[in-house]
Amino acid sequence: MTVSTDKKRIFLIGFSGTGKSSAGRVIANILGWEFKDVDELISLRLGKSIEKIFSEDGESVFRDQEVLVINELSNETNSIVISTGAGAVTSESTLELLKSTGFVINLEASPELIYQRLSNIHEVNGAEAMVRPLLSSSDPINRIRGLKSERQFLYMSAHWTIHTDQMSTGQVANEAVRAWRKNGNYFNLTGSPNVVSVVNAESGSYPVVVGWNILEEQLGSHVHGLGIKGRAHIICDSNVVHPYGRSAQRSLHNAGIEMTLFTFPAGEASKNLKTVETIYEWLASKRVERGDVVIAVGGGVVGDVAGYVASTILRGIKLIHVPTSLTAMVDSSIGGKTGVDLPVGKNLIGAFHQPIMVLADVAALKTLPQRVLKEGWAEAIKHGFAFDETLVEIYENELEMLLGLDPEVTTSVISKNIKIKSDIVTNDEREVYGLRQLLNYGHTIGHGVEAAAGYDRYLHGEAVSIGMIGAAKLGEILSVTPIEVVNRLIELITRFDLPVNYTDVSIDDIQAAMSRDKKMLSGEISWVLLDAVGHAMTYKGVDQAIVLQVLKELSKT
């Protein structure tokens, strides 16, 4: 769904106590727009407080009125800022309406701050009446955390997210205005319902398009809609040129876009500067221009190599990712990281270069070998354990549907993963604030195992699986990760037929590879650990003797 460009309309969403109404009034004042509070309008319409509506009429009456009011506001002709209730996003049709008729901003706050704010309200009004039972429970913060976690993937589908913990109302409003002025009028793509997420980066915003069997049908029209004036240079590897490289060619041809295609040998062994140089020479022979676009069609290796080429040729040209592997769809295609390997380490040469669009055709997963498909689920499992417990529950309950690639279930789950990655990149594009670092859960040991084994024994996701188990065991020893979390992770990884140990890999070589990790700071590893399912944290100062103990536990001889 795309953002409307013909109406000036901002919707504020978020959990109770995040400051939507207060910030909304200030935003409207800055922009000179009207302000409307959905809860206030419902209360006026029914002539009673929201709390009485819930107690006397029931939640269903309130939700029906909420839908009516939001529908009316979405058709307002005046420029307007609208504060919605905390539960408005729980209606899929309402959420899609918000995203298609306005610029949606999610206000985030920690459960602790939410509890503090709601406790300080003398009289709980509006939809906050729903959280009164949470405040009176024996453990209100965990109750708030639980309810918020259930809705988190919905909040994260907003076009923009603002973390309010360290901000005043005025600062939140100014950030919202800045976001609107930078991105509010960006999208005029094609009106596709397959746009499931928006990444807001320093270089601009870009859509992530997800669907089943959409590559040949939609790629060309989307590229045309993005206003590309030059040629498209498709880069893929020998594994995906048939059928996906050719499908991309046909789609672009049908849209009247001139294109070229380059193929290099598949595999991690091609992820080096020699391959990059070969592509440079090919593009130069095709007289590449700055108005052209590189389209990376393939898995993570293709995305990394083609992305690095796009970031450097002619000092940078546009890039589109068409990921065909699960790992690339849920992780590497989003966020702008590009790079190639050196003999001493992985991804040691690279640059940040955001794409202008990501298009993921989930049906492409049908042609993956089972081992490659399963290793892709490791990154998705990581997202669940590090950020969203509801995803973990979906994996546990829908495993057979996911491994069988049920179109509806798989597309939905991949979309949820993409929303998580998009939101993190939006809020910490260059790993300045520590949020994006949390995506490295399992990667410190994982990269060490991968490098020590020579990059040919373990696929990336397999190494990350081992790394997640290692990080969980490390957290358990440090009294950070509860044993229940460790056991739940081991059980799920085992059910996905992913490794939990490594075999015949030198521990000394793993430690040496870990010491070259690019995330090292002043010679010290910043570990990503779990303190709960769905919540990751960083931890420094780990004794090397403990790390060695964990590596020995992971070794299976």
Residues marked active site are found at 315, 337, 379, 421, 431, 436, 440, 443, 447, 460
What's the CA gap between 399 and 410, in Å, rounded?
10
Q: Which runs of E-coded beta strand occur in 109-159?
A: none
Give helix then strand counts, H and E, for the chain.
23, 16
Query: Phi first, then psi: what are they for 296, rounded to 5°?
Result: -90, 115
Task: Report DSSP letters for 391-422, one per residue.
Answer: HHHHHHHSHHHHHTT-HHHHHHHHHHHHHHHH
Taking CA atoms, 154 is separated from 114, 157, 218, 367, 472, in Å, by: 18, 5, 25, 30, 28
**Per-residue CA distances from 392 to 272, 381, 397, 468 (Å):** 35, 7, 9, 14
CB 486 within 8 A of CB 476: yes
**Which residue from 19, 5, 8 is spatially nearest to 73, judged by alpha carbons?**
8
Q: What are phi and psi of 552, to 5 degrees?
A: -70, -40
Relative to beta strand 337-342, strand 160-163 is unpaired
Secondary structure class of 207 (helix, strand, coil): strand
Residues 154, 70: Cα–Cα separation, whole Å: 17
Measured CA to CA, the distance from residue 359 to residue 376 in angstroms comes to 17
Distance of alpha carbon 349 from alpha carbon 353, whole angstroms? 13
Report which of 329, 555, 547, 345 is spatially closest to residue 450, judged by C-alpha positions. Answer: 345
- Helix axis angle for 389-397 and 140-155, nearest 10°, is 70
Q: Are 338 and 350 in contact (CB under 8 A)?
A: yes
Do the Cβ atoms of 467 and 540 come closer than 8 Å?
Answer: no
Token pair 């499992």 is at which residue?
Answer: 381
Number of Cα atoms under 13 Å in the Cβ half of residue 158? 29
**Contacts with 490 (C-beta within 8 Å, 6 or more apart), sequence order:** 469, 472, 500
* DSSP H or E stretch at residue 442: none
From the list 139, 176, 134, 138, the residue with the least C-alpha distance to 159 is 176
